[in-house]
Amino acid sequence: MFGYDTGTQAYNRFNSSPHSGFAASETMGPKKGGQSSGNKPKVGKQTAQQNAAPEESDQDERLQAIVLSDSYQTRFQPLTLETPRCLLPLCNTPLLEYTFEFLALAGVSEVIVVCCAHADQIQEYIANSRWSNPPSPFTIETVLSPESVSVGDAMRDLDAKGLITSDFLLVSGDIVCNVPFDKVLADHRQRRAKDKNAIMTMVLREASPFHRTRARAESAIFVLDEQTNQCVHYEEIKTRRHMKQISLDPEIFNKHTDLAIRNDFIDCHIDICSPDVPALFTENFDYNHIRKDFVHGILTSDLLGKTIFAHIVTDNYAARVRSLQTYDAVSKDVISRWTYPITPDSNLLADQTFQYQRGHIYKEDGIVLARSCRINSCTVVGAGTAVDDGTVITGSVIGRRCKIGKNVSIRSAYIWDDVTIEDDAIIESAIIANGAVIGASSHVAPGAIVSYNVKIDTNIIVDGNKRLTKYLGEEDKKVDTDAVGENGDGYVYEDASEAEEDDDYEEIVNSSGLVYNMAFLNASDTSFSTVSADQAHRKSRRRRVSTASNNTIASEDSDEDSFLREAQASVERAVAENHDLDIAALELSTLRMAKNAQFHEVRAATIAALIGRISHLINSNTLKARAAVESVLNRWGPLFRRQVFDQADQIDFLLLIQRDCTRRMQGSSILLHAINCLYDQDILEEEAILTWWYQDPQRKEDADMVKVGELVPRWLEWLTTAEEESDSE
């Protein structure tokens, strides 16, 4: 047990809460447990409970989290050729630990890690970590999704496996966040309870647009309703193409009074999703990216009727390590304790012994420092590292068991474990991965990456844009002596495949470097000269896809009769099974759009269904005419609100009811009560009724029509007298 007592305050706090007792002992139920199968404690009571009522009983307590361990990007290559991104060390602790720490804080009780590349390493890491053992606040399970090449694939995989039972937290394996989650979750659940269509809540951290942890390449503009925080528009910022403007659909101004356009969010892709989200990914197989495809797709689709909300966080830390630039920024934030309680000295790993010293210096036990070396502020030094005379280290992270020679200068660099740096070397703003050797008097320029076990000879200058690796892959290459020197070992890494496929390549490379060139981002309009034709083209392409699919539905069966039949059946079903009104309305409007039907037909179908229902109630002697009409129309009348708009509609509507009533028993009294009821509900206005009665020739088209209207004059009399009474008051 000793090992687990070294956890963070957050973790300890969590463990001491009554909640964690339940969470820790919760089982994974009948699901297949990958590597973490050793973590199955007593299966019994709770498995039964889960089987019996997976959703209702413990909706409030249980929270699933999906961790996407893969980023489906290549920004960290060549480092990620050998290690998955989520296991790269940030301040000497693998990134995944920060994610788990956040999930523990958030009160998650079940974590599913989706592995793709390097799945074996991740599984092994999780199996050996403290999260897989009993004191862990959540159960953990790894799911392999080796085929997936995007977030969308992973989601579709999850949907197919049926692992998601309730609303879940979706995060990537590379976030650092200390946002308390109860409020976010409560808000989300409240919204969900009110509106089933609120399928997703994005957690967005407010910051300045030029904040260092805001990834340049992946930031976006969010347009939110100011009152509800409903997201109505999402637009990714294209830095390379000098995006000049964003375009908003005028439709949104009719639906929302005040819209906030925000360019100051850090979006770490922390989302609470309903189970609809994976299902929607399955339905739309071309959705890949969670933001630019999914969010954008949902927001631009009228048919789906789903809504996405944002939760704005103003005073906690949230960041995602998604590029080298953000790696640098987040490391600095962790060192300067913005992420408290997640800091190096909280010793997230069992064997860590960091202690905090003034000036944001963190040292582990067992460090050998020569008398004349200087460790300046904002530095982390791991155990077993030896620093020799005259060396100066400033604002850097040094891993474990490193050997740093004499008179070395290290500034803003990230040096991982077992690195050897020989005398008089200079390292600035670079990443030196495990086992690398930097020869004496060599100079690693800002922005360079020296991957695992690369050896650099003495007196070599490594340029800032170089990425050196020893990983060969399938290629057969000779040691690149120009780059690493005669006695060196390693190759210059070139990301060739990417360049061909992705036209954003340049943007990504340029903006994901460790050292970000601010000149690159031009905030003013002055140099904007090209309108992003490509962007427009892309949009139209996407749109075309969706319309095409609509057309196919429409062409399958477009005649009016089939619409009437289906719509009527849809309403009848809604009434019989007592659906939600909104759902029934949505179903109708979907049907209407799919079949390209007129509102007239929608009204006809709805009336047929509802009057049929009323007539059924009367004929079966369940209720008297008036009660039957009221019971049905009070419940379902509001459907007409979305079908009847102006006076002409109302008159058409009245004629339809009248016609329908001619074929019913007690048609005249149904008609009378229906008019009365709908008048009370303000669906029919006096004027329309009067016009219909006195002026419309169709009303008296044939004998049936006249007969069914026999009771109406009395009601009209009442209406006019009532009117006069209220007038004379």
Partner 1 sequence: MEFQAIILCGPGKGLEPLVSPLLPKALLPIANKPMLYYALEWCQRAGLSSVVVVCSSGAEQPISKYITLGYNSMQTSKSMKVEVVVHDGETGSIVKGLKDKIKLDFILLPCDFITDLPPQTVVDIHRNQPLKTIGTGIWYINSLDTMDKQTLKPDLTIHTPISNPHPQLLDIYSRPKANNQLHVRMSMLWEYPQATISTSLLESFIYVFSRKALDYDFGDADTASIITVMSEKGGGGESLKWNKPWTSVVRDIARDSWCHSKSADRDTVGMYVVPKEHSFIRCKSVSAYLEANRLILKQSSYTLPPTTATANGAAIGRDSLVGIGTVMEEKTSVKRSIVGADCIFGRECRLSGCVVMDGVVLGDGVHLDNCIIGNGVIIEDKARLVGCTVEGRYVVREATQSKNEILRGYSAEGLLDTSDEYEDEENEESDEDEDEEEDDDDEVDENDLVESEGEGIDVDDDDLFDRR
Which lies closer to partner 1 via its Cβ, residue 108 or residue 651? Answer: 651
Q: Measured between alpha carbons, how far is 156 from 293 in angstroms, rounded to an integer?
A: 14
Q: Which of 55/249 has CB closer to partner 1?
A: 249
Contacts of 627 (CB under 8 A, 6+ apart): none
Q: Which of residues 117-156 bind partner 1 (CB under 8 A)?
A: none
Across-strand partners of 111?
65, 140
As given in the structure block, the two tokens for residue 315 are 């005073």
DSSP letter for 118, please.
Answer: B
CB-wise, 161 or 241, nearer to partner 1? 241
140 closest CA partner among 160, 156, 163: 163
What are the backbone dihedrals phi and psi of residue 98, each rounded to the nearest 5 degrees, phi first? -65, -40
| Of the residues 44, 146, 250, 697, which one makes contact with partner 1 according to CB under 8 A | 250
Would you say how long the chain is, in residues?
Answer: 729
Q: Does 726 bind partner 1 (CB under 8 A)?
A: no
The CA distances from residue 572 to 611, 658, 663, in Å, are: 10, 19, 18
264 lies in the binding site for partner 1 (CB under 8 A): yes
CB of 9 to partner 1, least distance (A): 34
Among the listed ranges 17-25, 26-34, 242-250, 438-446, the one in contact with partner 1 (CB under 8 A) is: 242-250
278/155 Cα distance (integer angstroms): 5
Q: What is the DSSP letter of 466?
A: -
CB under 8 A: which stretch of 74-82, 256-264, 275-283, 454-462 binds partner 1?
256-264
* Sheet with 403-404: strands ordered across: 368-369, 386-387, 403-404, 420-421, 437-438, 455-456
> Is 440 near partner 1 (CB under 8 A)?
no
CB 220 within 8 A of CB 262: no
**Residue choice 42, 257, 315, 500 for contact with partner 1 (CB under 8 A):** 257
Using the rule CB under 8 A, is 528 a contact of partner 1? yes
Q: Which of 651, 647, 637, 577 is nearest to 607 (CA)?
A: 637
Radius of gyration of the CA atoms of the chain, in A: 33
Pick the binder of partner 1 from 48, 368, 472, 523 (CB under 8 A): 523
The β-bridge partners of 392 are 374, 409
Tell whether residue 553 is a contact of partner 1 (CB under 8 A). Answer: no
User: Do 131 and 100 touch, CB atoms closer than 8 A?
Assistant: yes
Q: How far is the CB of 728 from partner 1 (least distance, A)?
A: 8
Q: Is 621 left (phi over 0), alpha (psi -120 to 50) or beta?
A: left
Question: Nearer Cβ to partner 1, position 186 or 690?
Answer: 690
Per-residue buried b or exposed e for 5-19, using 16+ beta carbons within 10 Å of the residue's own CB: ebbbebbeebbeeee
The reply on whether position 245 binds partner 1 by CB under 8 A is yes
Minimum distance from residue 547 beta carbon to partner 1 (Å): 15
- Which residue's entry shows tokens 């060739």? 496
Is 565 a binder of partner 1 (CB under 8 A)? Answer: no
User: Using an 8 Å Cβ cutoff, are 230 and 307 in contact?
Assistant: yes
Contacts with partner 1 by CB under 8 A: the residue count is 36
Record the tokens describing residue 246, joined without a space.
């964003």
Residue among 249 and 283 whose Cβ is closer to partner 1: 249
User: With binding defined as CB under 8 A, does residue 253 bind partner 1?
Assistant: yes
CB of 250 to partner 1, least distance (A): 4
- Using the rule CB under 8 A, is 262 a contact of partner 1? yes
Beta carbons of 139 and 22 less than 8 angstroms apart = no
Contact range with partner 1 by CB under 8 A, out of 260-268, 421-429, 452-460, 608-616: 260-268
Pick between residue 374 and residue 544 the one whose CB is nearest to partner 1.
544
- Please tell me the distance from the alpha carbon of residue 482 to that of residue 714, in angstroms, as a whole number: 102
Q: Which element (helix H / strand E) includes 455?
A: strand 455-456
| Nearest distance from C-beta of residue 314 to partner 1, angstroms | 12
Query: Rule CB under 8 A: is residue 221 a binding residue for partner 1?
Result: yes
Q: Which residue in the set 38, 44, 193, 247 belongs to the binding site for partner 1 (CB under 8 A)?
A: 247
State which residue, 259 or 392, has the beta carbon closest to partner 1: 259
Residue from 19, 31, 58, 260 that binds partner 1 (CB under 8 A)?
260
Q: Min. distance of Cβ 653 from partner 1 in angstroms?
A: 22
Shortest reach from residue 500's CB to partner 1, in Å: 24
Q: Does 312 bind partner 1 (CB under 8 A)?
A: no
Q: Which is nearer to partner 1, 248 or 349 (CB)?
A: 248
Q: Which residue among 161, 256, 600, 642 contacts partner 1 (CB under 8 A)?
A: 256
Three-state SS string over 650-662 comes to: HHHHHHHHHHHHH
- CB-based contacts of 52, cutoff 8 Å, min separation 6: none
Binding residue for partner 1, selected from 54, 135, 209, 390, defined by CB under 8 A: 209
The yes or no reply on residue 503 touching partner 1 (CB under 8 A) is no
**Where on the chain is the footprint of partner 1 (CB under 8 A)?**
208-209, 221, 223, 226, 237, 243-250, 253-254, 256-264, 523-526, 528-531, 533, 536, 727
